Each structure stands twice: as C-alpha cells, then as structure tokens.
Amino acid sequence: MTSNSAESMNALSNHARKIPITQLIEFFIQSVQKWFYDRRKEGIQGEHLLTTWAQKKIRGKVEGSRSWVVAGIAQDSFDVDDGGKRGLVDFSNGTCSCRVWQVSGLPCGHVTAVSRFLGEPDCAHYAMSFYTNEVYKSTYEEHINPVPDKSEWEVPDGLVNLQPPLITQRQAGRLKENKRILSLGEDPTPLYCGKCKTYGHSRASCLAPPKTKTSSRTVSKPQPTTHNRPS
C-alpha cells in the first residue's frame, strides 16, 4: 500500500544492474522462481488456519488488549473499554467502531478482547479469508520454469538482426542550455552564416557549396580614397 514495487525491484537488482539485459532477465526469473518455491513450501508446511504473518499480528493485538474490560450489550454486540475511546463490536455485521477490523481484515484489539471474554481459545476465525493459509498456498501454486538453453530455442524464419545503438560518450552532469530570456522590447539576434554570408541559418547547417581555393598570391586591400578640401 505504501511502497512502490519498482523501487523494491531496483533495490533487489542493485548489484545486477550493469550486467547485459539477457542476464538481467535471467536474474529476475531465478529470483521469482525462488520466491514462489519458498512461499509455496511455507504454505504447505503451515498447520494453522492463518499465515505466519497474520498470526504474529493477532498475537500483538491479544497482548495489547489483556487489560481491557468487556461488557455485553446483546448476543452479538459488546462494549469494550480500552482506557481511551470505547469500542463497540458488532459480530452480526462484522464491524467495530474503531474500523480497524473492517479496513485491515484482521481482528482489532477490541475483537480479541471480546474473544477472550467469550472464552474462545483462538480468534483466527475473525480474520478475512485472504489471510488464510489455503489462499496463501494457492497464490504461489504456479510454477516458474527456467528459460531453456539457447540451443533449444525455436527461432522463426525471417527475423532481422538489429544493430546495437551508437552510444557516444557524453560529459558528466546535466546538459547546459544556452537560452537567455529576452528583455522587454528586445528582438532576438538573427542567425548569421559565416560561410555564405547570409542570415537565417548557421554555418553548421549551411547547404551552400564550398568555395574553390583561390591563388596563394596576396592581394592588397584597397585603401579608402580621401579628398582634400580646398583651403
């Protein structure tokens, strides 16, 4: 409910991120295969109605509600004084005024206190069905088979071999953007091409043909003419 599954997988594959993608997929397959096997085995060996995790949660509620006082209201409703806010348990509707039982699916402290008041040896039957060991086993009953060897693959005809992408080395850090906010009333400077001496594009995108090489003879730059004023 509160953890991102992608972050959990990233934490799992922290040491395997830099391996090739095919080996990374194989790593995930082996991990899921181990998870399913271990949890399926745990569910088969479990003898209690609920899973081990659910039993631990209920035991904590039982220990915390030993000093609470229970008073009967009707055959299926009870008032529980927990030293703070009173809890009203209604077994006919499967509700408690604290709403922990309805939201979590596990019996809250008020329900465990009522169960002890009624002389029940165990209050596991008040938990929702998805906490049962039977549902836990059925969740992981699917078998995760490993990928066969490459020599056993059935490769269809007509596949095109793709070339790997061209990866160029870039400098570390974020790329710099040469974008300046224009002042009020300022016009943007037009692009000028130093190759064809025109505006509208830069030298890198210029499509003009290159100029032919001229003779190596130096040509003197003409001097501007001056006119003497009559005295």
Q: How many domains are there within the chain?
A: 1
Is there a domain that residue 87 lies in? yes
User: Nearest CA to 110 among 68, 71, 75, 74?
Assistant: 68
Is there a domain that residue 130 lies in? yes
Give the range of the structural domain holding residue 124, as residue numbers without chain letter.
Answer: 52-139
Is there a domain that residue 63 lies in? yes
Read off the pLDDT of residues 168-191 as tens digits, 9 standing for 90 and up.
Answer: 777 677 777 667 777 787 888 888
221 has pLDDT over 50? no
Is there a domain that residue 159 lies in? no
DSSP H helices, the chain, are 5-12, 21-45, 52-64, 100-104, 109-117, 133-139
94 has pLDDT over 60? yes
Is there a domain that residue 104 lies in? yes
**Predicted model pTM:** 0.55
Could you say which DSSP state residue 16 is in? S
Is there a domain that residue 185 lies in? no
Is there a domain that residue 126 lies in? yes
Cα–Cα distance measured from residue 24 to residue 41, given in angstroms and rounded to the nearest whole number: 26
Is there a domain that residue 99 lies in? yes
Rg (Cα) of the chain, in Å, rounded? 39
